[in-house]
Amino acid sequence: MPVPLSRIAVPLAAVMLSWQASAADLTVSAAASLTRAFTELAPLFEAQHPDTKVLLNFGASGALLQQIAKGAPADVYASADQASMNQAQSQGLVRAAERRNFVSNSLVVIVPAGGTTMPKTLQDLLGPAFSRVAIGQPASVPVGRYTKAVLEKCGLWAAIEPKVIGAQNVRQALDYVARGEVHAGFVYGTDAASMPDKVQVAFTVPTEEPVRYAVAPVEAGPNAAAARRFVSFLLTPSAQAVFARHGFGKP
């Protein structure tokens, strides 16, 4: 039976007009590797601040930076490396005085679970058994930058580059390995730990600079007060315990 227009008009209008974020929303743009941890932390923050609703936006740190640079109304920016936050700071996009480091991570090489060959060193990745290696796009993904820096330092980047399958963010690199579409991939320790049944860690890669995540309120963000509270919240012991459970290290 056809629904009369009058009965759906009001709910339809409500849905179509609800795109406006309300004043009590807190928009957090966070690096993809923070997906699981932040998803768990958001309700905890909301419980402590019942008037605020946390909206999470995940992506590669570089991509998120571009969004903010082009005017996206984020309140908080959390990046997986110092370089992205430095760029944000130099462009005046974040409040430098309130910038903090809040967690650290490790870089690991993973292979699909049940795979026959396990590389022991970076050198092994040059072999024919690893014809496809997933690495985040260095131009916009921090994990890709860490990886490229290490490989360049060892003089292996040029040899590995033809085998690289570029990922849009670290979660995609993880997915490629989990599906068995690539023979190895570079991801964070926390990402590897999130899919223990699909991937296995071959070895940890010592990085040139420590993998330290930074967070800061966005300068032009609409909800400055809540942003400041969120940054402090990330450094509280209860939040840090959540991070530890997901495999992150201290900042």
Partner 1 sequence: MGTAWVPLALTLKVAGWATLLNLVLGVAVGFLLARKQFPGRDVLDALLTLPMVMPPTVLGYYLLVLIGRRGPLGGWLDATFGIQLIFTWQGAVIAATIVAFPLVFKASRAAFESVDPQLEQAACVLGVPEWAVFLRVTLPLAWRGVMAGLLLAFARATGEFGATLMVAGSIPGRTQTLSIAVYEAVQAGQDHVANSLVLITSVTCIAVLLIAGRLAPGRVAGQF
Q: Which residues bind partner 1 (CB under 8 A)?
A: 60, 62-63, 65-66, 69, 132, 137, 139-140, 165-168, 179-181
* Beta carbon of residue 44, minimum distance to partner 1 (angstroms, whole number): 31
Closest distance of CB 81 from partner 1, Å? 14
Output the smallest distance, CB 87 to partner 1, in A.
Answer: 8
Q: Which is nearer to partner 1, 180 or 249 (CB)?
A: 180
Judged by beta carbon, residue 132 or residue 228, the one nearer partner 1 is 132
Bridge partners of 203? Answer: 109
Q: Is the distance from CB of 227 to CB of 84 less than 8 angstroms?
A: no
Nearest residue (CB) to partner 1, 8 versus 139: 139
Least Cβ distance, residue 68 to partner 1 (angstroms): 11
Residue (78 or 167) nearer to partner 1, CB: 167
Phi, psi of 214, deg, nearest 5:
-115, 150
Torsion of CA 117, 123, 127, 131, to 10 degrees: 80
Nearer to partner 1 (CB atom), residue 100 or residue 132: 132
Q: How far apart are CA 69 and CA 82, in angstroms?
A: 17
Per-residue burial over 47-75, b if 16 or more Cβ lie within 10 Å, else e, is eebeebbbebebbbbbbbbebbeeebebb
CB 87 within 8 A of CB 80: no
Q: Measured from the CB of residue 66, what is the shortest distance to partner 1 in angstroms?
A: 5
Which residues make beta-bridge pairs with 30? 58, 78
Torsion sign over Cα 181, 182, 183, 189: negative
